[in-house]
A and B are shown apart, each in its own frame.
Chain A
Amino acid sequence: LAKTTQPISMDSYEGQEVNITCSHNNIATNDYITWYQQFPSQGPRFIIQGYKTKVTNEVASLFIPADRKSSTLSLPRVSLSDTAVYYCLVGDGGGGFKTIFGAGTRLFVKA
C-alpha cells in the first residue's frame, strides 16, 4: 500500500500562495494522487486529482514531477476560510482499502 508523508501543520497569511507537499515514494503505476479538504465538524471534501504533470481547477493546482514520488498542492491567494486539514491520498482514485488517509496537514490562515 502506498503510504504518504505530509507536514503536520502549516501557517500562512491571507492573500498568500500556499504549497503543501506530499511524499509517496512507493506509488504504483496505476495509482492516482487525490487531495481532500476537511473543515471541523464536516466530512472531507474532494479538491483535486491527478496522475502526472499539472492539473488545475477552480480551487487549486496539483503539481506532479515525472517520477511521481511526490506531489504539491498549490492554493492561490488563501483566505481565512481555507483554514482546514488537507489530506493527500494515493490509490485508484476511490476509497477502497488501497487508499489510506494519513494524519493530513493542518493549514492555519491568519489575517
Chain B
Amino acid sequence: EAGVAQSPRYKIIEKRQSVAFWCNPISGHATLYWYQQILGQGPKLLIQFQNNGVVDDSQLPKDRFSAERLKGVDSTLKIQPAKLEDSAVYLCASSSPGTDNKLFFGSGTQLSVL
C-alpha cells in the first residue's frame, strides 16, 4: 500500500515570497491533516479536512496560510507571504475509520525562509 506522498521534499525561499506544498493521502482515506513542526517541537495541527470539507482550521494563520482539498483527495497548503518564523517541516497525514483512525504521515516538506 502506498503511503502519504508529499512534495517538494525541501524548499528554500526568501521572506515575503510565496510557497505551496502538495499532499496525496493514502487511497481511500477521507480525513487529511496538515501539521507544522518547528525544530525541537512536536507537530502542531494547522487544519483538518473531511473529504473536501474543512472540519476545523482554527489554528491556521489565515492572513497568510491557505489550504484546499478540492476533489477530496489531493491537498495543497500555501503560504503567502512567508515570514522567517514559518521555517519548519510541514507534515501531511491521513486517516480512516477503517484503520482505527491511526494517523499515517508523509515525510514532510522542510521549509527554510531566509
Residues of chain A having any CB pair with chain B under 8 Å: 34, 36, 41-46, 49, 87, 92-97, 99-104
Contacts and interface: CB of A to CB of B under 8 A. Distances in A.
Contact of A94 (B91, B101, B107, B110): B101
Chain A interface mostly: loop
B98 to A, nearest CB: 12
Top 10 nearest A-B pairs by Cβ distance? A43-B105, A101-B42, A94-B101, A93-B101, A95-B103, A46-B102, A101-B43, A95-B33, A43-B91, A97-B56
Interface of B: 4, 31, 33, 35, 40-45, 48, 55-56, 58-59, 91, 93, 95, 100-108, 110
Nearest to B47: A97
A42 B107 contact: yes
A57 B42 CA distance: 24
A21 to B, nearest CB: 17
Contacts of A92: 101
Given A43-B106, A103-B40, A95 B100 contact: no
Contacts, number: 63
Contact of B107 (A43, A46, A103): A43
Nearest to B105: A43
B42 A41 contact: no
A103 B101 CA distance: 22
A94 to B, nearest CB: 4
Contacts of B103: 36, 44, 46, 94-95
A103 B100 contact: no
A16 B105 CA distance: 29
Contacts of B100: 49, 93
A45 B105 contact: yes
